[in-house]
DNA sequence: GAGGCCATCTTGTCAATGGCAAGTTAAAGT
DNA sequence: ACTTTAACTTGCCATTGACAAGATGGCCTC
């Protein structure tokens, strides 16, 4: 109904992407199988190939969608730098499957035009969030900010953080980011 | 010759781990195939199963080895906090394959005793590196430090950083970490 | 030194997967 | 009505991970 016309299935492209997100959120990207997605959508095993070409094609679409969602999340975060960082972490937690694909370029075609456009947009939003603070040059601040939120999100998602950090990732992230920008 | 006795092959266990590191350093963890490793070692396709049980078993051994290497790298880094952080990044760059597996617990058995022991050891070395500095409590400092070095390493490995950062990851990491601990 | 034991590795097989080729269905245009 | 074309199916093949059963060869004991 939304972007590809409704034929036999309705909106298979979206259904496959949604199913992929669901599977990966539970079992990680390694557990993804095109045939399983097709089964969940109630179509034949070769149907996904029509929409995405191959597995990398599906993950490319997912990565593009992820960068768009990230840009949206950063755009809604307001002007404060710490809020932007917390929004980055919140996006990673809430859209775990997207996030995990986005930063694994060996899984998809990172030079895809849609991916490049969405990634550029998200990157600029992230950088403008840091623009007004200065220290050793804005580049260093931006890189440090990106590193600390990306690292925190990654560590949280991988389960590497000790329980002592607490159950609320965004609250913990706020504390950590404030340590960088007091 | 080193740990498993030399029978038909010599030291198949080590050969398979080395081949796995080589493959993953080039093409990422998704490209890993037990049969390919067996081919490279010149043994039959079922030989790896004897040493590692299954694919997760091989990656478990690789993760344990990785945490040991990380502990070693951190131990050699000296007392300075920034040096410890740079050593963390240096480890991630130099042992990319290990690093990428270590923080992807869906790929291996993270509760394996050897893995737990090595990870605990590395974790303590990382935390003692931060111990002497205090700010909002050592926990926050340790978490911030870990996040920033882990995030920088991850972003560098994924190729997400702009070329402007320069060609030397450890030099750039030093600048970024110094931003957190001036 | 003969026989047994066991770690090491091989051969054979099976289900599942990704990807390709060729055919089928049905909506949409002319 | 006829054609075109997107959307999907059926059938196939090579590769892979995992398992079962067998072969090989060093080591140990009596």
Rounded to an integer, the average pLDDT of A4-9 is 50
Residue A127 main-chain phi, psi, to 5 deg: -70, -40
B39/A149 Cα distance (integer angstroms): 41
pLDDT at position A2 is 33
What percent of chain B has pLDDT above 90? 82
**Does residue A42 carry a pLDDT above 90?**
yes
A131/A133 Cα distance (integer angstroms): 6
CA distances from B163 to A48, A133, B133, B149, B166 (A): 36, 22, 33, 19, 6
**Does residue B20 carry a pLDDT above 90?**
yes
CA angle A162, A168, A172 (to 5 degrees): 70
Rounded to an integer, the average pLDDT of A136-161 is 92
| B3/B92: higher pLDDT | B92
pLDDT at position B135 is 54
Mutate to test the interface with A, among B151, B159, B168, B178 (most CBs of A within 10 A): B151
Per CB-CB distance under 8 Å, the chain B contacts of A106 are 27-28, 30-31
Rounded to an integer, the average pLDDT of A157-163 is 96
**Does residue A38 carry a pLDDT above 90?**
yes
Helices (H) and strands (E) in chain A, counts: 9, 0
User: B10 touching A, CB under 8 A?
Assistant: no
What percent of chain B has pLDDT above 70? 91
Strand C nucleotides, any atom under 7 Å from protein beta carbons: they are: 7-13, 16-22, 26-28
pLDDT in tens, B133-176: 655 666 899 999 999 999 999 999 999 999 999 999 999 999 99
Q: Is A89 helix (H, G, I), strand (E, B) or coil?
A: helix
Give 3-state DSSP helix, strand, coil % of chain B, rounded to 5.
70, 0, 30
CA angle A111, A12, A47 (to 5 degrees): 80
* Residues across chain A: 182
Q: CB closer than 7 A to strand D: which residues?
A: A 4-5, 7-10, 12-13, 38, 43-47, 49-51; B 5, 7-8, 32-36, 45-46, 49, 53-56
CA of A112 to C1' of C9 (A): 45
pLDDT in tens, A92-129: 999 999 999 999 999 999 999 999 999 999 999 998 87
Per CB-CB distance under 8 Å, the chain B contacts of A174 are none
pTM for the predicted model, two decimal places: 0.93
pLDDT in tens, B54-98: 999 999 999 999 999 999 999 999 888 999 999 999 999 999 999
| A180 to B140: CB separation less than 8 angstroms, yes or no | no
Establish, for the pair of chains A and B, how many residue pairs have beta carbons separated by less than 8 Å. 108
Of the given ranges (A130-134, A163-167, B177-181), which has the lowest mean pLDDT? A130-134
pLDDT at position A139 is 86
All residues at 6 or more sequence positions from A112 whose CB lies less than 8 Å from its CB, including other chains: A60, A63, A64
A67/A76 Cα distance (integer angstroms): 14
Record the tokens describing residue A132, joined without a space: 């007004």
pLDDT at position B79 is 82
**Does residue B131 carry a pLDDT above 90?**
no
**Does residue A4 carry a pLDDT above 70?**
no
Identify the sign of the CA torsion A158, A159, A162, A164.
positive
Rounded to an integer, the average pLDDT of B33-56 is 96
**Does residue B1 carry a pLDDT above 90?**
no
All residues at 6 or more sequence positions from A34 whose CB lies less than 8 Å from its CB, including other chains: A45, A48, A49, A55, A58
| A106 to B141: CB separation less than 8 angstroms, yes or no | no
What percent of chain A has pLDDT above 70? 91
Asked whether the beta carbons of B64 and B112 are under 8 A apart, the reply is yes
B1/B14 Cα distance (integer angstroms): 9
| B103 to A144: CB separation less than 8 angstroms, yes or no | no
Q: Name A residues 3-42 whose Cβ lies under 7 Å from strand C.
A: 5, 7-8, 32-36
B173/B164 Cα distance (integer angstroms): 13
**Does residue B4 carry a pLDDT above 50?**
no
Of B104, B139, B176, nearest to A143 by CB-CB distance is B176
CA of B88 to C1' of C18 (A): 37
């Amino acid at each position: 109904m939304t972007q590809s016309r409704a034929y036999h299935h309705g909106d298979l492209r979206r259904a496959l992407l949604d199913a992929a997100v669901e599977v990966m959120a539970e079992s990680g990207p390694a557990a993804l199988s095109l045939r399983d997605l097709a089964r969940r959508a109630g179509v034949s095993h070769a149907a996904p190939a029509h929409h995405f070409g191959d597995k990398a094609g599906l993950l490319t679409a997912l990565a593009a969608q992820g960068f768009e969602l990230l840009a949206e999340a950063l755009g809604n975060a307001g002007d404060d730098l710490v809020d932007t960082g917390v929004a980055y972490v919140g996006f990673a937690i809430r859209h775990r499957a997207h996030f995990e694909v986005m930063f694994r370029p060996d899984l998809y075609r990172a030079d895809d035009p849609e991916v490049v456009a969405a990634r550029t947009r998200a990157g600029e939003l992230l950088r403008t969030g840091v623009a007004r603070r200065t220290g050793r040059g804005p580049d260093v601040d931006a890189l440090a900010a990106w590193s600390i939120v990306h690292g925190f999100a990654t560590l949280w998602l991988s389960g590497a953080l000790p329980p002592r950090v607490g159950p609320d990732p965004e609250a913990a992230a706020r504390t950590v980011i404030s340590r960088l920008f007091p």
